[in-house]
Amino acid sequence: MRVIDSHTEGEPTRVILSGGPDLGAGSVSDRAARLARDHAAFRDSVVREPRGSDALVAALLVPPSVPGCAAGVIYFNTVGNLGMCGHATIGTAVTLAHLGRIKPGIHKLETPVGVVTVDLHSGNEASITNIESYRLHKDVTVAVEGLGAVTGDIAWGGNWFFISRDLPCALEQANIDRLLDATRRIRRALEDQGWTGAGGAWIDHVVLLGPSRAADARNFVLCPSGSYDRSPCGTGTSALLACLTEDGQLEPGAGWVQESIIGSTYRLHYLAGEGGQIVPVIRGRAWVTAESDLHFSPGDPYATGIRG
């Protein structure tokens, strides 16, 4: 299986160029559903240890069904599929540029949650025009074991997020273990207390938001795998922009610089969406780190990944 690895502002992406399963016909959304339902062993073999890690997001390239799209992309991690993924889309754009498949300029990608636009600025930098993002619930308070009451908003930016400014400690790299523990507890409390995204969807990401010396805000983002986002999280910051806009704290055209827990940044602004919501635009950088063939040797007891 031919793959290209990259990182976007610190967060890894593995683009799968060949060797994926036959997902049949239909939209990228239909094929993503088949990947989720029928191909767990394939997904695990690519993203779980020993080939991958909990931080890794894979981007499976598939033929697009929407005319004019440069590619279709299905995202998944060690837990399952992601609807959209900001960092992996920037990583995919830079990978496609590395392969000479796209040049600087505007391109469209079909994702499971809709068509996104990539403006490739150079070989290492792109802006992604995301899907429409919105807040579902404001000021939800959950009782969290060991932390007490935690209040935040539930919002959509291509994945479901709980976004809170109630911090258990400073958003510093030295506190990552404490932040992981706190955000896992918050996610469990949301589940136990019946909070979901639209249609009963699992709120699989938790964002803690705090002050930054270099940007408008700094965040810590818990991902579905139980790991944290090294990048500022494109879909999470899209969801945050929706909340800020609904609170009257961000005007159309105004910029927002989001810093991650490791100090990397995205620059964002938003456009008006046709459905009445905001359409975030996320600008970030990515670098190719490896071009590899994954091997699946007969007799390897962990050929389809280590299951915890």
For residues 253 and 107, is the Cβ–Cβ distance under 8 A?
no
Burial of 91 (0-12, 13-18, 19+ CB in 10 A): buried
Determine whether 233 is an active site residue.
yes
Cβ at position 159, least distance to ligand PYC in Å: 6
Please give the DSSP secondary-structure letter assigned to residue 101: S
69, 223, 233, 243: the catalytic one is 233
Rule CB under 6 A: is residue 132 a binding residue for ligand PYC? no
Rule CB under 6 A: is residue 222 a binding residue for ligand PYC? no
Terminus-to-terminus CA distance in the chain, angstroms?
Answer: 24
Return the structure tokens found at 259: 């810093």
Site string for ligand PYC, 11-30 (x = CB under 6 A): x-------------------
CA distance 4 to 47: 13
CA distance 258 to 212: 9
Query: Quick one: 61 or 233, whose CB is closer to ligand PYC?
Result: 233
Cβ at position 121, least distance to ligand PYC in Å: 18
Rule CB under 6 A: is residue 229 a binding residue for ligand PYC? yes
Other Cβ atoms less than 10 A from the Cβ of 212: the count is 17
CA distance 235 to 143: 26
- Phi and psi dihedrals of 121, rounded to 5? -85, -35
Cβ at position 300, least distance to ligand PYC in Å: 28
CA distance 251 to 254: 5
Contact region with ligand PYC (CB under 6 A), list: 25-33, 188-196, 229-237, 273-281: 229-237
Contact region with ligand PYC (CB under 6 A), list: 82-90, 145-153, 170-178, 290-298: 82-90
Cβ at position 212, least distance to ligand PYC in Å: 18
Query: Quick one: 78 or 164, whose CB is closer to ligand PYC?
Result: 78
Active site residues: 85, 233
**Residues of this chain that bind ligand PYC (CB under 6 A):** 11, 57, 85-87, 159, 223, 229, 231, 233-235
